[in-house]
Structure 1
């Protein structure tokens, strides 16, 4: 009986990832970072985005009030799939730290959708350029040590 329950739970857990909407198996070929930089320029991404850690010239002007940062340090990895999704579906997951001026009244990203212009090769190269810009900052643990519980002596005295 216990084996049947365990098998059922295992199948349910792994079965959830097998649906048609699952990202499992998604993979694109390796891109070229240098070509990705050229794609970034070609589609004028720099008009609204700035790359964290890269110097800007004093005369840099953006089409938005505050440049939207790409890259930088985070406590979690920015995955390949997240970058691809952010480019081809900018409204999928909006960063809560960004001002509301980056979205329309109904919450849709104002980022220009380039899906009809951007080739798959350009997308692959653009992600290859952007992904290394994200750095994972290790989670800093607390300096406090865990307290050890003292278990009272439950054995009778002799």
Structure 2
């Protein structure tokens, strides 16, 4: 009788666990695909722009889902700045990426902070801000893809 109960328990309990793992794996794959696509969009845009080498601050460390979500939200806000109107597609990609990472973090019971409020920059050098924001996005996403294993930890 106990063997029958064990088999019944396994048949009922095992599929949802397998589904969750598969869903997380699919979710991570879609997150990585969005990040790669965003980098392609950045490269295409860079080909149409004059070559500049702005000094980019060091991007924050990628410790896990919590830190990734936090910085992607900040980056999303930076991309919404009026001086970055040409970055609408990239902002949309980053926003989507942030939402997917946030969703994965919530699914894994990771602590997630509220999205930061957008900051209004009294930017007197909009062209510089544009190039700086583009470079920040590119560097962070490249770092993000190199540290994709961090999508499995909080």
**TM-score, normalised by the number of residues in structure 1:** 0.29
* Structure with the larger helix share: 2
* Structure with the larger strand share: 1
**TM-score, normalised by the number of residues in structure 2:** 0.30
